[in-house]
Amino acid sequence: MKRRILVSGAGSIGMRHLRNLRVLGINDLAVSDPDADHLKNAADELQVEPFADFTEALTRYKPSIVLACGPTITHVPQALEAAKTGAHVFIEKPLSHTPERIDELQEETAKRNRACMVGCNMRFHPGPAMVKKLLDEGRIGKILEAEVYTGSYLPNWRPQQDYKKSYSADPAQGGAVLDCIHEIDLALWYFGPAKIAQATTQSAATIGLPEIDGTADINLVHEGGMKSHVHLSFTEPEYRRFCAITGTKGSIRWDFTEKIVEVKNRDGKIVDSFAEPENWEPNDMYIDEMKHFLECIETQQAPRRNLAEANAALQIALQARNTAKMSDK
């Protein structure tokens, strides 16, 4: 199959994917972005064909694969438009900011037998991947409870951009719940389907964004009764990311900063530990994610994170935003 790839959105994640596609040997690339500066930067650096208009890019460039990497509000409309041309579609996280038209996208990609994958790079991180493997092997017995945590600082995310003007700061499509949805996805991946028992949020007023959620705490009850707590924040100056899982036979802890997964027995003694590969770099998970998507297209296999899984995480996120009581607004 000839790979003719259009990346929509030349912001930080779009540029990352464009660079990685070049690393993977993809030469036939185009980019679309209504921002003239973004478009010029992408075209100059990567020598890709530029389009200011997404629909024009679909019509003139005729891609076989489209990556929807623009603002969240554009994800589903552009993915649906691309699918209707017969293209395979990769959508950056979060899938959307609303449930609207997701069923239509599901029907369109299924009808045309097109691959559709939603970004889940943390599943390709060696830490969470090892946690999932250990859980599947039953290393700590029946899972009793867990915490999945991410804390970061939005002003540091994209130094070249005013964060107050980014889509992350937009009340319609931004906020920590949607932007930090990876941890919701990991909780569902680790422990299975869930419903919200309780959700609370705090505004991002401390970083000058009182109209959006900056921190969220979501208590989930998974099938079988196991409970997990998901903490999401982009107002914490100290970067922290980890999960801690307790089972009937012991516990598992992964820490992003410490770069290690530890298994302890019921007495708290470390019985096994797994360090990241020595030369592993964060960009490797994005490359592995894209390799997986391209391989799924070639082999006609289902992607690791399909629309149904991404939608399940989105529904949790949207329910948390709608039911949580935001304080300090």
Q: Which two tokens stand for residue 183?
A: 């941890």
Q: What integer is the mean pLDDT of 275-290?
A: 97
Which residues touch 41 (CB under 8 Å, ≥6 apart)?
10, 15
Percent of the chain with pLDDT over 90: 95
User: Which value, to the nearest 10 degrees, does the dihedral of the CA atoms of residues 77, 79, 85, 89 take?
Assistant: 180
pLDDT score of 160: 84
Going by pLDDT thresholds of 50, 70 and 90, the confidence category of residue 304 is confident
Query: What residue ranges do the domains of the chain occupy?
Result: 5-114, 122-280+311-327
Q: Where are the alpha helices (DSSP H) in the chain?
A: 12-23, 36-46, 54-61, 75-84, 102-111, 126-136, 176-179, 182-191, 283-299, 307-323
Q: What integer is the mean pLDDT of 25-43?
A: 96
**pLDDT surpassing 70 at residue 329:** no
pLDDT score of 203: 96
Going by pLDDT thresholds of 50, 70 and 90, the confidence category of residue 323 is confident
Neighbour tally for 3: CB within 10 Å: 18
Mean pLDDT (the chain, rounded): 96
Q: How far apart are CA 58 and CA 4, in angstroms?
A: 11
Higher pLDDT, 236 or 322: 236
pLDDT score of 97: 97
Find, among 65, 84, 75, 69, the residue nearest to 17 by Cα. Answer: 69
Q: How far apart are CA 266 and CA 256, in angstroms?
A: 23
Give 199's strand partners.
218
pLDDT score of 326: 62
pLDDT score of 1: 63
Range with the lowest mean pLDDT among 154-163, 190-199, 224-233? 154-163
Q: What integer is the mean pLDDT of 265-290?
A: 97
CATH number, span 122-280+311-327? 3.30.360.10
**pLDDT surpassing 80 at residue 289:** yes
Q: How far apart are CA 84 and CA 78, in angstroms?
A: 10
- pLDDT tens per residue across span 56-67: 999 999 999 999
3-class secondary structure per residue, 138-158: CCCCCEEEEEEEEEEEHHHCC
**pLDDT surpassing 80 at residue 243:** yes
pLDDT score of 2: 78
- pLDDT tens per residue across span 257-277: 999 999 999 999 999 999 999
The listed CATH number (3.30.360.10, 3.40.50.720, 3.40.190.10, 1.10.645.10) that belongs to domain 5-114: 3.40.50.720
- Reply yes or no: is the peptide bond before residue 94 cis, omega within 30 of 0: yes
Amino acid residing at 58:
L
**pLDDT surpassing 90 at residue 114:** yes
Q: How far apart are CA 255 and CA 267, in angstroms?
A: 20
Q: How far apart are CA 73 and CA 81, in angstroms?
A: 14
pLDDT score of 155: 96
- pLDDT tens per residue across span 163-207: 999 999 999 999 999 999 999 999 999 999 999 999 999 999 999
Q: What integer is the mean pLDDT of 42-48?
A: 95
Neighbour tally for 147: CB within 10 Å: 16
Q: Which two tokens stand for residue 116?
A: 């559709």
Q: What integer is the mean pLDDT of 110-122?
A: 97
Which residues touch 187 (CB under 8 Å, ≥6 apart)?
146, 148, 194, 220, 228, 230
pLDDT score of 328: 54
Q: How far apart are CA 192 and CA 195, in angstroms?
A: 10
**pLDDT surpassing 80 at residue 327:** no
Which residues touch 142 (CB under 8 Å, ≥6 apart)?
247, 248
Neighbour tally for 55: CB within 10 Å: 13
SS3 assignment, position 196? strand
Q: How far apart are CA 286 and CA 128, in angstroms?
A: 14
